[in-house]
Amino acid sequence: HVEWCASRYRSYRPSDDHYTSYSGEQRPCISPYLDAGAADRATQPADDGPSYVEATDMSPMDGEVASDETGGAWLPPDHVEYCFSRYRSYRPEDNTYQPYSGGPRRQCE
């Protein structure tokens, strides 16, 4: 995982497993070698106590797609590795990549 991240992101820091994006944000490195549980923990904010949002209030906002509609199911590691090797902008959280031509993100198939 660390070797993969270091070869992909020049600003990668193994000490906190983050890199600096072009926009200046600190982002966790999610590689095809990271287990699914670690990827989920890396992309979720720290738990600051109880949340007061009711489950019924968790509907997607306009333009967003519910996770069950994105194919948010478990992806096989070989699929994730294939997509990472093919698309630099691949995100396993939603199985999408950003096309070079611009436009909306697309599903990696």
- Convert the pLDDT of each residue in 55-68 to its tens digit: 444 444 433 333 44
pTM, whole model, 2 decimals? 0.37
Share of the chain above pLDDT 90, in %: 17
Tens-place pLDDT, residues 21-39: 888 889 999 888 876 555 5
**Total residue length of the chain:** 109
Cα 38 from Cα 98, distance rounded (Å): 23
Q: Give the DSSP per-residue string, 37-98.
A: HHHHHHHSPP--S-----GGG-PPPTT---GGGTT-S---HHHHHHHHHH-TT-BTTTTEE-
pLDDT value at 16 more than 70: yes
Contact 29, 17 (CB under 8 A): yes
CB neighbours of residue 83 within 10 Å: 20
Across all residues in the chain, what is the average pLDDT?
Answer: 73
More confident: 45 or 93: 93
Report the pLDDT averaged over residues 77-91: 87
Tell me if residue 3 falls in helix, strand or coil.
Answer: helix
Cα 93 from Cα 83, distance rounded (Å): 12
More confident: 87 or 75: 87
